[in-house]
Amino acid sequence: MKEIKEQYISKTVEKSLEILKVFKNGNRFSFTELEKKLEINKTTLYRLLYTLEKDNFIRKNEQNFYELGFEIFMLSQIPTKKNILKNISEPIMKKLVNDTNLTAHLAYLENNKIYYLNKVSAGRIELNTNIGDSIPFHCTAAGKSILAFNDKERIKEILGSKELKKHTDNTIIDYEKLYSHLEEVRNNKYSTDIAEHNEHFSCVAVPILNKHNKANEALSLSGLTVEIKKRDLENLVSLLKDCAKKISRSIYK
């Protein structure tokens, strides 16, 4: 066994690792519970937790309980990172649905496909969408929001050279028109799908931007086309952007 040289061991790092190990089973703890469990001085514990939270290795949830942060899952590159994104978005999406009475979706990009990671229904009219569904890029608001906030080479890689399928009379099926439209989305920082994927339903979405101003996720609101057309688009976009910023700050700070 390799000899451990005590003089090289950092007590601060040791205590920080001790804190992280407490969460290994996915538990959540209050400050008082951590203090009792770890037997670390209150002031020291506060400083360590503050530092770990600042760098997103742990996070404080809506109930002021500490839990593992997004950075841990990004480092480990395990599927569980989707769970924390879902947990972070859930209360934000519920409030958004309550405020708008429209259905909210959280979409994410993985292996050059877009999937629904979370859905909160408005309850009045149920959309035929499910968590885990794959959706088209070119004719959904969430898909276009994610595409627009990636560089052109990445967009080409994602779309490939396959034909853009026509779903309704409003679907963009020409690549040049799509690239031009994505430029508008990039400038406006939101996208719409007005009966492009399904003639009965329409959608508004915004990207969830990381530190590099790129998007791997998008947040959207959907409803009947006749209803979406009556809504104040500026207000819906403003609410979506506020929610997207909250999610972004939690996972990319």
Q: Over the stretch 180-190, which tens digit does the pLDDT of each residue have?
A: 999 999 999 99
- pLDDT of amino acid 162: 82
Same domain membership, residue 96 and residue 24: no
The model carries a pTM of 0.70
User: What's the structural domain count of the chain?
Assistant: 2
Q: Which domain holds residue 155?
A: 81-252
Same domain membership, residue 133 and residue 224: yes
Q: Judge whether 116 lies within some domain.
A: yes
Same domain membership, residue 229 and residue 180: yes
Same domain membership, residue 112 and residue 165: yes
- pLDDT of amino acid 125: 74
Same domain membership, residue 214 and residue 156: yes
- pLDDT of amino acid 23: 87
Same domain membership, residue 228 and residue 161: yes
Q: Judge whether 74 lies within some domain.
A: no
- pLDDT of amino acid 2: 47
Choosing from 20, 38, 68, the residue where a domain stops is 68
SS3 state of residue 134: strand
Sequence-distant (≥ 6) Cβ neighbours of residue 129 within 8 angstroms: 103, 105, 116, 119, 135, 222
The string of pLDDT tens digits covering residues 22-56 is 987 778 899 999 999 898 999 999 999 999 998 88
Same domain membership, residue 200 and residue 236: yes
CATH of the domain at 110: 3.30.450.40
pLDDT along the chain (253 residues), means of 10: 66 91 85 92 94 89 87 64 85 96 94 91 83 92 96 89 92 94 96 95 96 94 93 96 94 78
Longest CA pairwise span in the chain (Å): 72
- pLDDT of amino acid 62: 80
Q: Judge whether 99 lies within some domain.
A: yes
What's the CA dihedral at 89, 115, 126, 224 to 10 degrees?
A: 100
Same domain membership, residue 221 and residue 111: yes
Choosing from 68, 94, 116, the residue where a domain stops is 68
Q: Judge whether 1 lies within some domain.
A: no
Q: Judge whether 134 lies within some domain.
A: yes
Give the end-to-end CA distance of the chain in Å, rounded to a whole number. 39
Same domain membership, residue 108 and residue 57: no
10 Å CB burial of residue 243 (0-12, 13-18, 19+) is buried
Q: Judge whether 76 lies within some domain.
A: no
CATH of the domain at 19: 1.10.10.10
Q: Judge whether 185 lies within some domain.
A: yes
Same domain membership, residue 88 and residue 60: no
Q: Judge whether 75 lies within some domain.
A: no
Same domain membership, residue 181 and residue 202: yes
Same domain membership, residue 87 and residue 62: no
